[in-house]
C-alpha cells in the first residue's frame, strides 16, 4: 500500500449508461490509487479496490438514486449530474445498510430516502459504529420512507419494483426495471459474494432462488467489472455462479481441506459457468469468507 497514489474522492468516478434512462456511477479498480489513505480502511479496501457502482434512473424530470456511494463528493457528483440532466425530483433507495452504500446519504437529506424496515433497523443499531468508522459516515442520514416486502413506484413514466431479499445481508433490496433489468445491490457480485452473515448462508441460498424467480435478463450488481456493467450487465448465470460458490462454502466445515484452496481452485465450478471473471483483489475477500464461515474471524 505504501506505493499507492492518493487522490481525492470522486476524481476517478466514471459515468456509464448501461440501459435506457439508467446511469451507473462507477469508481475503483484503478491500480495504484487509493482515496482515503495507505492504512487499511473500508473505503479503499472494502469498496474502491473491488470496484463499486451506484445507479440512477432518470425520466421526465424525476430520478431515483440506487445507493448514495462511498463518499459525500461521490454523492454530490451524482446529484449534480442528475440535476444537469433535468431532474427536479430526486428520490433515493438504499440496497442495504452497509457503509459503502450509505456514505453519501447526507447529500440527499432533503429527499425521500426509501428503505425496507430491516435496513432502517440495522442502520439505527449500527449508527454509532458507522459514524465512528474510518472514514466516518457522520452524520449518518437515515431513511425516511419505509416499506415491507415490495414497493411499486414510478420514475417519470418508468415503473420500478423494489423487492426485499435476504441475500448477503438480511435487509437486501433489489430494483426490477422494465425489460428485466435488475439492480442487484450486493445480493450478487462478480466474481464472488462477500460473506457478512456466515451463520445464515443457507437462508441466503433460498433468497437466491427467489431472486432467480424474478426472471431478470440483465443484472447490474454494485460490485462488478466496469466493462460488463457498461455493456448492459450480467446474464442470469451470475445467480448460478453465486449459488455454486455459496454451496461450496457450506461444505467447508465437513471438508476442511477446502479451506486451503485459492479462489480460482475453490470456485472452479463457478468460474466454469463463464458468468464471472477472476479479479485478484477478491482473493482477500475469499480468504475472509472462509475464515468467517469457519468461525476464525
CA pair distance 183, 176, nearest whole angstrom: 6
What would the pLDDT profile of 202-257 be if each residue is shown by its tens digit?
A: 999 999 999 999 999 999 999 999 999 999 999 999 999 999 999 999 999 999 99
pLDDT, tens digit (0-9, with 9 covering 90-100), for 161-194: 999 999 999 999 999 999 999 999 999 999 999 9
Contact 38, 4 (CB under 8 A): yes
| pLDDT score of 291 | 96
pLDDT band, residue 296 (cuts 50/70/90): low
The string of DSSP codes covering 213-237 is HT--SEEEESSS-HHHHHTT-B-TH
Specify the residue for cell string 457450506.
250
CA 128 to chain centre: 22
Distance CA 145, CA 117 (A): 9
User: How far apart are the C-alpha atoms of 84 and 267, rounded to whole Å?
Assistant: 43
Mean pLDDT of all residues in 100-125: 98
The whole-angstrom distance between residue 199's C-alpha and the CA centroid of its chain comes to 20
pTM, two decimals, is 0.96
DSSP H or E run through 265: helix 263-266
Maximum Cα–Cα distance across the chain: 56
H or E segment to which residue 210 belongs: helix 201-213
Q: Domain-by-domain residue ranges, the chain?
A: 5-293
- pLDDT grade, residue 16 (50/70/90)? very high
pLDDT at 118 > cutoff 80: yes
What CATH number has the domain spanning 5-293? 3.60.15.10
pLDDT band at 270 (very low <50, low <70, confident <90, very high): very high
C-alpha cell at 10: 470522486
**Average of pLDDT values for 66-78?**
98
Amino acid at each position: 500500500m505504501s506505493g499507492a497514489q492518493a487522490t481525492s474522492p470522486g476524481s476517478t468516478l466514471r459515468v456509464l449508461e448501461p440501459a435506457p434512462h439508467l446511469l451507473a456511477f462507477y469508481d475503483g479498480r484503478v491500480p495504484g490509487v487509493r482515496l482515503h489513505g495507505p492504512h487499511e480502511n473500508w473505503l479503499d479496501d472494502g469498496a474502491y479496490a473491488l470496484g463499486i457502482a451506484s445507479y440512477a434512473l432518470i425520466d421526465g424530470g424525476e430520478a431515483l438514486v440506487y445507493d448514495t456511494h462511498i463518499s459525500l463528493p461521490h454523492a454530490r457528483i451524482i446529484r449534480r449530474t442528475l440535476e444537469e440532466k433535468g431532474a427536479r425530483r430526486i428520490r433515493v433507495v438504499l440496497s442495504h445498510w452497509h457503509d459503502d452504500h450509505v456514505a453519501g446519504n447526507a447529500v440527499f437529506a432533503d429527499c425521500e430516502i426509501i428503505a425496507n424496515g430491516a435496513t432502517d433497523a440495522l442502520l439505527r443499531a449500527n449508527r454509532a459504529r458507522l459514524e465512528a468508522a474510518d472514514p466516518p459516515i457522520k452524520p449518518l442520514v437515515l431513511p425516511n420512507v419505509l416499506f415491507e416486502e415490495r414497493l411499486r413506484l414510478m420514475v417519470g413514466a418508468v415503473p420500478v419494483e423494489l423487492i426485499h431479499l435476504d441475500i448477503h445481508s438480511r435487509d437486501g433490496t433489489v430494483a426490477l426495471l422494465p425489460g428485466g433489468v435488475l439492480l442487484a445491490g450486493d445480493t450478487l457480485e462478480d466474481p464472488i459474494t462477500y460473506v457478512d452473515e456466515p451463520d445464515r448462508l443457507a437462508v441466503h441460498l433460498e433468497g437466491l432462488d427467489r431472486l432467480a424467480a424474478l426472471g431478470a435478463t440483465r443484472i447490474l450488481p454494485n460490485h462488478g467489472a466496469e466493462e460488463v456493467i457498461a455493456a448492459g450487465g450480467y446474464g442470469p448465470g451470475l445467480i448460478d455462479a453465486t449459488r455454486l460458490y455459496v454451496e461450496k462454502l457450506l461444505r467447508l466445515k465437513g471438508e476442511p481441506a477446502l479451506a486451503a484452496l485459492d479462489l480460482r481452485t475453490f470456485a472452479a465450478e463457478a468460474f466454469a459457468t463463464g458468468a464471472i471473471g477472476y479479479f485478484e483483489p477478491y482473493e482477500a475477500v475469499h480468504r475472509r469468507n472462509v475464515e468467517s464461515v469457519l468461525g476464525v474471524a
